Each structure stands twice: as structure tokens, then as C-alpha cells.
A and B are shown apart, each in its own frame.
Chain A
Amino acid sequence: MQIKVENNKAWFLVLPVFLIVAFSAIIPLMTVVNYSVQDIFDPYTRYFVGTEWFKQVMLDSRLHEALLRQFLYSFTILAIEVPLGICVALMMPTKGRGASLALILVAIPLLIPWNVVGTIWQIFGRADIGLFGAFMSSIGVDYNYASDPTDAWLTVVLMDVWHWTPLIALLCYSGLRAIPEVYYQAARIDQASRWAVFRYIQLPKLTNVLIIGVLLRFMDSFMIYTEPFVLTGGGPGSSTTFLSQSLVQQAIGQFDLGPAAAFSLVYFLIILLVCWVFYTTIMNMQKDK
């Protein structure tokens, strides 16, 4: 950490960012706030309803289920992706042609548009034309992500692991590259076991990047919309309907602007709260070091 000079003129440098983000963030957010306290029939007939929509949203059992599903989903994928990503990063070669090749190949899923990711798995998981679906049925598993909730859930998780483990892997890979070779030499002299090297040299150096990774993955999995939408459409039933999806259903499908807006705000606040907790913990941890 470098020593910073106090200078309020720095605001002029931040101003463009502030303006451009404010245009896309504050105006729409205020619109949402505006909707959330009114009952709107048409542009000219609207009534102020206060906190009624919020009460309705907070008591809506469908939303409770979606929220629960969302948390379960986010924690499941984090529990799989983080260890797997670390393993992949540890296995990646450190130098030479192999290293760049592995890097490029591993990064590919990150650069595929999200609805194409959904399409890929939609095709891949089908028993008639997809390899994965056909493989599952050939080993005798009755697998159909379109009609069985467990299979749908499994496919969505698998898709996310396929899609986002590379992010964790690449983050960890860059963290590992930053460890000086002398650390490993010292460990070799001490005849440290592979596990000890990992636990006492590599893992501590990975904390910083892992925090970024977990934060990014948590935020993004909490907002997931496109992939499950393309793959399962939230079904069968509502087994893979996550928060974003029920929000879009409500706002655009049923055009319930008031409740949808109230829901948006609650949703945003939950993410903000969780991330704030993450953020402060990280900052405190870094201060302790």
C-alpha cells in the first residue's frame, strides 16, 4: 500500500466515471423506487400505496422459495468450483508453449455468450441428439433435464461448473505465478510434503485472488438469468427458477410493475448486504496482516 496524498481535486478525475455510471444507475434506480410505492394503471392513473408492495413481496411464498433456491444454488456451485479451480490451477504447466495453450483452452468457456452456453448444454444434455444425455441413458440412468427436477438442477449446476470453474482456475493460476521460486526451494530443503507446500506456501498466497474469485462468483451466480432461462426456462415446475427469473416473469410477463419494483429493491439490497459483509471482512483481514 502506498502513501496517498490528500487532494480533493482528484474528484475531477473521477467525475466522468461518476456521470456515466450515474446515468445508467441512479436514474433507473430512482424509477424503480418510484414504481415501488405506487399502483400504476396507465401513465395518467396512479396511486400512492406506500409500503404495501413491500409487504406483499416480503410475504410472498414463491419468492421465499426462489430465494432459498438461489442461496442453495450459489453455495453449491461455490463449494464445487473453488476446490476444483484450485486443483486445475495447481496442475497447469508453469512455462513454455504448454502454459499458453492450457491458458487459452481453459479460458474458452468464459468468452462464450451466456445464451450460447445455455444452448450448448441444451443440446449436449438431450438424450436424442446430445452426447451427455445419450451417455447417461446408455449407462442406464433415466436422465431428462426437461421433465425431472433433480436432473434439471444437476444440469444447471454442471453447466455453471463448466462455465465458471475456469475463472477460479485462472485467478488461482495468476496467484500461484506470483510465488517466488525460493519459497519452493526452501520447502524442498525442509523436505516438506506436497500437502505442506500447498497448505503453508500456496494457499496463503492464494487468499487474495480467492477472495476476488468468491466475490465475483457469488455476485454473478446470484444474478444468474440467461443460462437457466435458455436451458430449462425455470422448469420443470419452478425447480430452477432463480431470483432474476421470477423477477422478470413478474415485471414483463405479468406486468405487475409495483410488486416487481419492490422485489427489485429487496433483491438488490440482499446482494448489497452480502457483498458489504464480504467486502468489510476482506478489508479487515488485509489490515490485520
Chain B
Amino acid sequence: MTQSSTKPIEHAYKVTKEQAPVYSRAERKIRNANLRGRFGLALYIVLLLLPIYWLVNMSFKTNTEILSGLSFFPENFTLANYAKIFGDPTWYMGYVNSIFYVSMNMVISLLVALPAAYAFSRYKFIGDKHMFFWLLSNRMAPPAVFLLPFFQLYSSVGLFDTHIAVALAHCLFNVPLAVWILEGFMSGVPREIDETAYIDGYSFPKFFVRIFIPLIRSGIGVTAFFCFMFSWVELLLARTLTSVDAKPIAAIMTRTVSASGMDWGLLAAAGVLTILPGMLVIYFVRNHVAKGFALGRV
């Protein structure tokens, strides 16, 4: 770099250092842009949260108040809607069922996807690319296509209306996704680590559990998050494969429609309760989630 090209930069730097409160034009521009950004983001988040706020607001109202007019705060604050859900096993068992099959699905998906992702990230083998695309193609299969065959398949093997049926059905789209994310994270770990471990006398299973898994901890956390998310939000398959014993909360919610009209307050309360587990999970992975959304390959 020549002397003449570095000089103006030095100069600009000095100005900001010595007269801190007086900003150069360029910096003022950046500050304004930042302010605009903050404002825009705040506006976006407010708009984003407004429908959810409305639901929460409604869940604390009585039905007469909901139907009598709009208000931003419940006038007769009531917990009756929530009390009804927590007091009735047919209601709250829905949450237990949902959480049960979602956790099962998370465990199954991770257990089978970990070795497979390792194979895809480390080895070349016959049909590897085709296998990978076939897996992904299952992520693309519309659940509506599989509704009836799934129902028949799981009925014929005697799994209909069990948690494991829903967990297995959700594997259809969660396992490919888990392989995809984990493969991205694993490719970020240099091969040399594997080789060093083998030279040090580690067997494959021992190396995998003791060394490799701790290295991709955040990847596993993120994968679990995604499996949770997609299994938790899915309803079509879960509803088709269950009737009583494993019925998910999202399907039970449809009961609020009755001959006497909609029970809006109860519906809103049930809706609010389905949002909470998701918020809890995202709170735990908040520090890794940014990387995870790039599926490990930024």
C-alpha cells in the first residue's frame, strides 16, 4: 500500500478519536441506518406478536365478553378457560400425548441419523448420492399423499392409536432433515481428528461417543430442536393415526365447536398452551439456533 492511499484513512480515524461526539457524515449515516433498522425491527416484531397477543388476550376473557365487543385487555379477567383444560383429563392428556410422541420421535430420529450423517460426511460408498436424494425426497412427500396407506399400514401391524405410530410416521420427514443438518455440522469437523483418535487406539464406537459427539454437541441440540419443531406442529398424520389413547392436543382442540356455537375462550386458552412448549425449547437453544438454521453449512 502506498503512502498516499493510507493517509486519508489515518486522518479519518484520528478525527473520530479526538472529537468523539462529532460524527463524520458517513458515520452519521450509519447511525441513522441503525436507528431505522431498530425501528423497523421493532415494528415487525410488534406486528408479528399482535395475532398471538390477541389470542392470549382472548384466553382470559369469558365468552360473553369476547362476543360483546373488542377490547385490548380483558375486563373480567378469568382463568376459567385454563381451569377447564387442567381439570379435565381428556383435555390435558392431549398435551401429554403430544409431548410423549414428539420426544420419542426426537430420540429415534437422532439415534438413527447420527451414524448415517457420519457415513455421508466421511465416506464415499455405492449409491451415496442417490441415497441422500432419496432421503430428501421423503422430506418433500406431501403427508396428504400418505394418509390412507399410513392408516392401513399401522392398523395392520397393530400400532394404530399408539404413540410409537405417530413417532414413526413423523420419522418420514424428520429423519431426512436430521441427517441433512447433522451432515452439515459433521463436515465442519476436520477428518484429522478421526484419524488421530484411531491412531491413539480408539475403536469406532468409543471414538464416536467419547470424542465425536461432544464435538458436535451444538449440532445435536439444533437437530433435536428441529425434530421437536416439525413433529410438534404437524397435525394431519398425528390425527389420522390416533383415535383416543394417543390423540394429540391439536386434534382435541376441534372439540370446542359444539351445537351451541364456538367456545372461543377455551379454544384460545388451548392454543396459548400449545405455544408455550415451543417457546421453552427455543429458549434453551437460542445460542446455537442461528447456526442451526443454516443447517451447519454457512
Contacts and interface: CB of A to CB of B under 8 A. Distances in A.
B153 A226 contact: no
A209 B232 contact: no
A239 B9 CA distance: 60
Interface in B149-165: 149-150, 152-153
B185 interface: no
A87 interface: yes
B229 A111 contact: yes
A108 B277 CA distance: 11
Contacts of B147: 248, 251-252
Contacts of A112: 52, 233, 271, 274-275, 278
Given A17-B112, A174-B298, A194-B33, A88 B122 contact: no
Contacts of A252: 147-148
B7 to A, nearest CB: 12
A14 B123 CA distance: 11
Contact of A271 (B51, B142, B264): B142
Interface stretch (A53-61, A123-131, A142-150): A123-131
B219 interface: no
B119 A111 contact: no
Contact of B233 (A24, A108, A111, A275): A111
Contacts of B141: 25, 268, 271
Contact of A10 (B51, B119, B254, B281): B119
A123 B145 contact: no
Contact of A109 (B48, B232, B291): B48
A49 to B, nearest CB: 18
A152 interface: no
B144 A11 contact: no
A45 interface: no
Interface in A62-94: 87-88, 90-93
A5 interface: yes
A154 interface: no
Contact of B298 (A162, A175, A188): A175
Given A16-B116, A28-B146, A170-B293, A102 B140 contact: no
Interface stretch (B85-93, B124-132, B209-217): B124-132
B236 interface: yes
A178 B294 CA distance: 10
* Prevailing SS type, chain B contact patch: helix
Given A14-B119, A14-B120, A91-B37, A6 B125 contact: yes
Contacts of A93: 38, 41
* Prevailing SS type, chain A contact patch: helix
A21 B168 contact: no
A173 interface: yes
Interface residues of A, number: 100
Interface in A252-266: 252, 257, 260, 264-265
Given A4-B124, A114-B233, A25 B45 contact: no
Contacts of B96: none
Nearest to A100: B286
A99 B71 CA distance: 32
A123 B58 contact: yes
Given A10-B125, A20-B108, A191 B278 contact: no
B125 A272 contact: no
Nearest to B280: A111
Contacts of A9: 123, 125
B45 A105 contact: yes
B259 interface: no
Nearest to A135: B70
A152 B29 CA distance: 42
Contacts of A279: 133, 136
A107 interface: yes
Interface string A177-200: 110000000001101001000000
B116 A13 contact: yes
A48 interface: no
Contact of B122 (A5, A130, A264): A5
B169 interface: yes
B224 interface: no
A245 B119 CA distance: 38
A205 B253 CA distance: 43
Contacts of B234: 113-114
A16 B264 contact: no
Given A128-B67, A251-B148, 6 more contacts: A105-B45, A115-B250, A174-B292, A205-B298, A268-B145, A279-B133
20 contacts: A2-B187, A5-B124, A14-B119, A14-B120, A16-B111, A21-B176, A25-B141, A28-B149, A28-B153, A31-B152, A103-B290, A105-B48, A108-B278, A119-B253, A131-B51, A174-B290, A177-B290, A194-B33, A209-B294, A264-B142
* 5 nearest CB pairs, A to B: A111-B278, A28-B149, A178-B298, A10-B123, A13-B119
Interface of A: 1-11, 13-14, 16-18, 20-21, 23-25, 27-29, 31-32, 87-88, 90-93, 100, 102-116, 119-121, 123-124, 128-132, 134, 162, 166-167, 170-171, 173-175, 177-178, 188-189, 191, 194, 205, 208-209, 212, 219, 222-223, 225-226, 243-245, 247-248, 251-252, 257, 260, 264-265, 267-268, 271-272, 275-276, 279
